[in-house]
Amino acid sequence: MNLQILWYGLVGLLLAGYFILEGYDYGIGILLPFLSKDDRERRMLLNAMGPFWLGNETWLVAAFGAMFAAFPRWYGTFLSSMYGFVLLLIFSLILRGAALEFRSHRTGKRWRGFWDLVICGGSIVPGLVWGVIAAALVQGLPLDAQLRFVGTPWQLLTPLALLWGLTFIVLFALQGALFLRLRVDAAITMRVERAARRIWIPALFLVVLLAIGGAFVSQAMLRLLAVPWIAPLSMLVPLLLFIAGQLIQRQRWWWALIATSLSMLCGVCTLAMSLFPHLLVSSLQPAWSLTVERAAAAPSSLVLLTWVALIFLPIIIAYQALGYWIFRKRLHMESRLHY
């Protein structure tokens, strides 16, 4: 059981790393049409995330890989239930990656404008999809006794799912603006600062609204009030966003980025702890829900996976940290741009 809890926590941490790191990539794509005035500035924004976006997506691959290896029944039930939305997520990531590469192959205004719209759309769609997934986790899925999804995809498009999706989009935009402020040093910097100052208040409002609205429709959210150590953790999410806003006003950009990142981490931890020991909750009958114990792989498999993770996870983290160190310099108008 200890290894099952360990891998449950590891999947959560991998997803938190994905939201924090890939979140600013999405944020830059979302803000792309609003911050740039010409092609040179758009190229600067794209090159700000250029060396990192592929490495950031590794966290999502690792999270799904850990889910498949440690909790194969969770992986199978989750993907079969959310099949269309997961495909939409993957398709949007493929299009966004293709757009980043294709836009620089020609200099035509229409050509680059089209791919810029694809990048923006490919950054908005993942936020909406993750909103549907998060709402399905806290509200439950129509699963029968054999863990078969017996509903329709349209049932998952609830008002709570849309609220989750909008919250993800705004948080990603805030994360992107803060990252750009630390990465770009040009005339566009003032616009990035204004964007950060304008976004943090809606982000805080949506997080509070989500907590209030979710408490009325979700047993997992109600559990926050019943378990003593979860409620303080959940309060850290809006508190850290409020602190980030104050740091933005004082132009403490590094600390503001750290505060928003910690807020996302606390949000993922809160959701994971409020669901535990469930992985998927059946909205038809609570007894049919999938628990950590039912979904876990054999103990011998978990032991082997733990040794593999102890060897390769530090290598992946070190490799990505090295990339951030190598490309740590700010981009200027005179910088050589790839995208």
Q: Is 158 within a domain?
A: yes
Half-sphere exposure of 99 (CA within 13 A, CB side): 23
pLDDT over 90 percentage in the chain: 37
**Contact at 8 Å (CB) between 291 and 279?**
yes
Q: Is 335 within a domain?
A: no
Q: How many domains does the chain have?
A: 1
DSSP string of 194-235? Answer: HHHHHHHHHHHHHHHHHHHHHHHH-HHHHHHHHSTTHHHHHH
E strands in the chain: 278-280, 290-291
pTM metric for this prediction: 0.92
**Contact at 8 Å (CB) between 181 and 189?**
yes
Count CB atoms within 10 A of the CB of residue 102: 15
Q: Is 306 within a domain?
A: yes
Q: Is 333 within a domain?
A: no
* 3 state DSSP class of 283: coil
Q: pLDDT value at position 46?
A: 87
Q: Quickly state the pLDDT bin for 147 (edges 50, 70, 90).
A: confident
Six-digit token string for 254: 């590094």
Cα separation, 192 vs 196, in Å, equals 6
What is the C-alpha R_g of the chain?
A: 20
Whether 81 has a pLDDT exceeding 90, the answer reads: no
Q: pLDDT value at position 168?
A: 95
- 85-119: pLDDT as tens digits: 999 999 999 999 899 888 888 888 888 889 999 99
Q: Is 336 within a domain?
A: no
- 220-239: pLDDT as tens digits: 555 555 566 666 777 888 99
Cα separation, 301 vs 133, in Å, equals 27
- DSSP-derived pairing of the beta strands 278-280 and 290-291: antiparallel
In terms of Cβ atoms closer than 10 Å to its own Cβ (0-12, 13-18, 19+), residue 6 is: middle
Cα separation, 6 vs 302, in Å, equals 10
Cα separation, 23 vs 53, in Å, equals 10
Q: pLDDT value at position 319?
A: 86
Q: Shortest CA distance to 284 belongs to which of 149, 162, 85?
A: 149
Domain that holds residue 252: 1-327
- 178-190: pLDDT as tens digits: 999 988 876 788 8
pLDDT averaged over the chain?
86
